[in-house]
Structure 1
């Protein structure tokens, strides 16, 4: 049916009998400045500058990468308590790691040699292990315990539906619904049912089902036209849905821009799974996306049977991917800004079962990686292998929420009121993981680059960019023509504190053609600044 015939059709008239414009907008929440859920994310169609790029207002340019080990990782075969090796072997006669296959970490602990890719982290002070992480009254259901870890609440009779990071961002971005930031607060690959980023009425993560989906978004970027739509309620409906989609795809567009402006790294062991997820995360970090938190996952840790080979493969894959990820970041100088952390819904039982595997357990280690740790070591005491509960599981020695509170306080440098909301009003011990929020570790983006302007020279018609930067920081400066096409990369790298001058009217071939151009200064991890200039 043609557009003209449709407007005159019975179907069109019936549509108007059921809907009027105001009614449609009111039901969908537009008239009341509301939002609609799309792709498990509450998104507003209003475009206000009140909260323009909320991420850029953060003082910290640090990034947190959460690595979820889905299924319940066996901590005793990840970090082996050699101080009580005889008990360990007696509990696991078939699946223990032999002494000649261990890499020494300290007098008390070792890790299996199939985790050898992490040796350099330990030797160079870039790995810490928190022992015995869990909570009292460990629940052994994958779903319930995953929810406990995500929400920070272990009260099953009064479960909350918001995640610890969702509550944090509820406080930090109170008007997110009506004024969504220009860049995603967090990016989540897989684990879409996980509640960790759930706020009171929205999910704060740009979430995709798998790494292949994120790669497609990153490579292409997409948006829908809202022009030339029918002048009727049907057109209003279509426009609304496209605007909502465009809010989502605005994120797809900035993800695409970060992906394209980043360098690639080809030393990952595979092109799938955790390797692919972390490769994409590295590209987005290096491309200046500005998201503070990324969450990736690797499954298969529910090792009830034939554990030895399965667990070896998983830990080998994890170790290789983490090493490649940090090597990737280090090539462009981003590794010092990224902290990674593993977590799993529970550990495994101390004793092996009759299927050469282990059943659901309790406490397990959390591993952290990155140069910000400033020294390798162990946090907390290891649970006893002999003093077990009635199910044969260990008692935890560190509450998992202590890690959350430490990361929010000492790594993301959060406001105490926001952190209090994230922790449901409870206080947990700070663990002292080696980092803090000293002035030298954070960046005040509001004042980092307090002057930039094009300067015109009369004698040779040259145009220069003059700028002043308050502290040394990684900067990318590019020029574009009036159509937005990239013309030249002026500078990319660490720019030392002080005043600088760059020629922007010339490239390697000489003077640019006469016309209007603009430069773009990207402060990595923060805002992008730009101004127009004219070449005569």
Structure 2
């Protein structure tokens, strides 16, 4: 290692030691299930970060959404005929992913669609921290999930490391600086191996006995780190030189990292975690060439990924080491759905993760994202999976962690997904294939603990309602039963008594009538499914009293009714009967007296009776008058009674008049003293009172 690199990396360890307390020693009695040792070959996790935000829609295109994608991202969309069709889930690879198609067909590649997190942050730095720390969007965590994992299993690192059980580094960063991903809460478990071939020991004996003081403790910590660096440098360089091979790796940044990694693995280094980075994915502009969307910056990056991964797999295939690896890719976010006119894309949200290895449950996980052709620049893909579900699955299914590990590393519980063959669930029934005795149950079917289908109906497939109440002492209640699932025939019973069927003949609806007040147990059975039945408890209650609210509209000569208490109402207005199930109804009125009666199907609800008089509108003039006045009385009445009273209630005049053809009736107040009088008119169609002033 070059001196400037050591000083750079050493400064991080020194800074940590001044802020963090010393770690406790390892409990020798504890049995570790993951990262158990670095003496023997074991499972290896490789994490590859696409720095900058990868465009998942162009990398793995949902072909069932291609037409809409073509509308909303015309500046970057790959021509359909150039895409590499996968034949599964309507997906296609970018043309530069030709070797990924080989791994996909060999079931050595898993695609997980729409991975992200709630309330995504579109800042490179913040979202990158969230993905590496496995924190929520509103949490600020200074450690990475793999760093915490290493610390959880090795709580006294670095004091007692390396040792006979752990002679090799726990994790290796293939670069010249430590990442947040492999930063622990109090230490940096990742060994930085920028150039394994040229790593040199730090020239110092590091055998000073420092006093037991605050400063002495820090100096002892620095000395420990330096000793560890010397020892790790020796084993890393030895493995690198021993792992020389002839497989050609691409001359790219990622190709170089994978070449170094392959030599370390083949050379016998038993490090369990490797971290590699490929930058350049922030493709706001020139993501594609304007005249050829299959070329451009993104195409170059995907070719780098394709060539690097296939070279690594070929190299490790030669020694069988590819059976031991799981390579997980991620980025800080995806890209926007809508493209830019600069032939690029802006920061987005969810994207597909890719996982590689020989022991994968290689089924595509997740649904194709739905693309609305009317979306705007602000719209983004919705996450179907939280990225920490993937981390939890890696920890338990590949690295051998348990619930305690997951709780310590991720702090919360996350539903896992089937990553490895041992955790495969091909028919997605919730029963792992290794325990599933019925491997081909239909998607969405209810199964038992053996994974075999158990017949079930959707919760809302059957409707059972009390469709009619009953009066006390009578049997006029009813229960209506129907089903929306018309694939079966059904038998019905009340208690132990048969009560009908649901078949095509009755349009899968049955009304059970003549029921008294009480609670009834309804059992529904499906023909051909003897072990299946559903039970319902239905209450037939006494109906509430009939309630009617009336209002008269004299302008339109109509009656407004607002009814409550029943499903069906019988209305008799002036001898004309109306049956309705509407709670609000409008009926015409006649001039004069109207008789109204409302009843229901049940006598116990009572009846509503009302008389309504709708008077003709009269007019008296002149008003005021010195004495003589005329009253205009419309309608068909022949006689009208007229009474005149003072404002004190004293009767001043009572007369009966025949109504002439011109409908004008003469009255004379000449004999009355001056003042205000009430003139009341009453006839078959007239019943009104008005004021008249005598002067």
Does residue 188 (structure 1) correspond to residue 167 (structure 2)? The answer is no
Q: 124, 144, 150: which one pairs with 1:163? A: 144
Shift of residue 390, structure 1, vs aligned partner: 7.8
Structure 1 residues not aligned, in runs of 5+: 1-34, 439-536
Q: 131, 134, 139: which one pairs with 1:149? A: 131
SS at match of 1:420: helix
How far apart, in 2, do the equivalents of 1:62 and 1:389 lie?
Answer: 45
Contact kept, 8 Å, 1:65 with 1:341, in 2: the verdict is yes
How far apart, in 2, do the equivalents of 1:227 and 1:293 lie?
Answer: 28
Contact kept, 8 Å, 1:126 with 1:370, in 2: the verdict is yes
Pair 1:390–1:351, CA change in 2 (3 A): closer
Decide which moves more: 275-284 or 106-115. 106-115
Contact kept, 8 Å, 2:206 with 2:226, in 1: the verdict is no
Q: 395, 401, 404: which one pairs with 2:388? A: 401
- Per-residue Cα deviation, 1:374-419 (whole angstroms, up to 9, x for no partner): 5x33111233222969821111111100100000010111132122
Q: TM-score, normalised by structure 2?
A: 0.52
How far apart, in 1, do the equivalents of 2:337 and 2:349 lie?
Answer: 9
Contact kept, 8 Å, 2:390 with 2:416, in 1: the verdict is yes
- Per-residue Cα deviation, 1:420-457 (whole angstroms, up to 9, x for no partner): 11111x1112111233389xxxxxxxxxxxxxxxxxxx
What is the 5 A alignment of 1:370-449? 370-374=357-361, 376-386=362-372, 391-424=378-411, 426-436=412-422
How far apart, in 2, do the equivalents of 1:141 and 1:316 lie?
Answer: 26
RCO greater where, 1 or 2, for CA within 8 Å and sep 6 or more?
Answer: 1
Bigger proportion of residues as strand: 2
Q: 204, 211, 227: which one pairs with 2:189? A: 204
Partner residue of 1:63?
44
Shift of residue 50, structure 1, vs aligned partner: 8.4
SS at match of 2:421: coil
Pair 1:127–1:41, CA change in 2 (3 A): farther
Does residue 311 (structure 1) correspond to residue 298 (structure 2)? The answer is yes
Q: 264, 273, 286: which one pairs with 2:266? A: 286
Q: CA RMSD in A?
A: 3.4
How far apart, in 1, do the equivalents of 2:46 and 2:418 lie?
Answer: 19
Pair 1:380–1:192, CA change in 2 (3 A): farther
Q: 225, 245, 249: which one pairs with 1:268? A: 249
SS at match of 1:132: strand
Partner residue of 1:342?
329
Bigger proportion of residues as helix: 1
Partner residue of 1:222?
201
Does residue 139 (structure 1) correspond to residue 139 (structure 2)? The answer is no
Partner residue of 1:258?
239
Contact kept, 8 Å, 1:133 with 1:396, in 2: the verdict is yes
How far apart, in 2, do the equivalents of 1:254 and 1:294 lie?
Answer: 16
Q: TM-score, normalised by structure 1?
A: 0.66
How far apart, in 2, do the equivalents of 1:136 and 1:420 lie?
Answer: 20
Partner residue of 1:103?
84
Pair 1:184–1:84, CA change in 2 (3 A): same
Partner residue of 1:330?
317
Contact kept, 8 Å, 2:14 with 2:222, in 1: the verdict is no
Pair 1:117–1:166, CA change in 2 (3 A): same
Shift of residue 165, structure 1, vs aligned partner: 1.4
Partner residue of 2:607?
none
Shift of residue 56, structure 1, vs aligned partner: 4.8
Contact kept, 8 Å, 1:69 with 1:342, in 2: the verdict is yes
Contact kept, 8 Å, 1:223 with 1:250, in 2: the verdict is no
SS at match of 2:46: strand
SS at match of 2:359: helix
Pair 1:172–1:358, CA change in 2 (3 A): same
Q: Report how many aligned residue pairs link the two structures.
A: 391
Pair 1:225–1:377, CA change in 2 (3 A): same
Structure 2 residues not aligned, in runs of 5+: 1-9, 289-295, 425-695
